[in-house]
Amino acid sequence: MTPTSGGSLPHLVARGGRRRCLYQLIADDLREQIRSGQFKPGEQIPSMRFLRDYHQVADMTARSAVRVLEEEGLVHTNRIETAPAQPDYIRHGLDR
């Protein structure tokens, strides 16, 4: 992933001629890993800290990527308001 040129916003990148936000690209990568079987149902996906450090993005960007997959029903997150985020797990229904 490389930033677009020409003074564009730093959180936008170009891939295949399309401009997308970094969280969308991270979600795309995770989605492909899930669909390819790299992560099996019930397995933990990479932590928010790992995603943040690996992709060199802000915490919110990593959280947004996982939130997209949760909204699509690909992962399930166990969060308790006052406790640290629990592991994120892949759901069985990948037919979406």
pLDDT in tens, 26-53: 999 999 998 898 988 888 888 889 999 9
Residue 53: per-residue pLDDT: 93
> Is the entire prediction scored with pTM above 0.85?
no
Per-residue pLDDT tens digits for 59-68: 999 999 999 9
Q: Quote the tokens at residue 40.
A: 């099996």
CB 57 within 8 A of CB 12: no
Question: Position of tokens 């936008």?
Answer: 12
How many other C-beta atoms can be found within 10 angstroms of the C-beta atom of residue 34? Answer: 21
Per-residue pLDDT tens digits for 72-85: 888 888 764 333 33
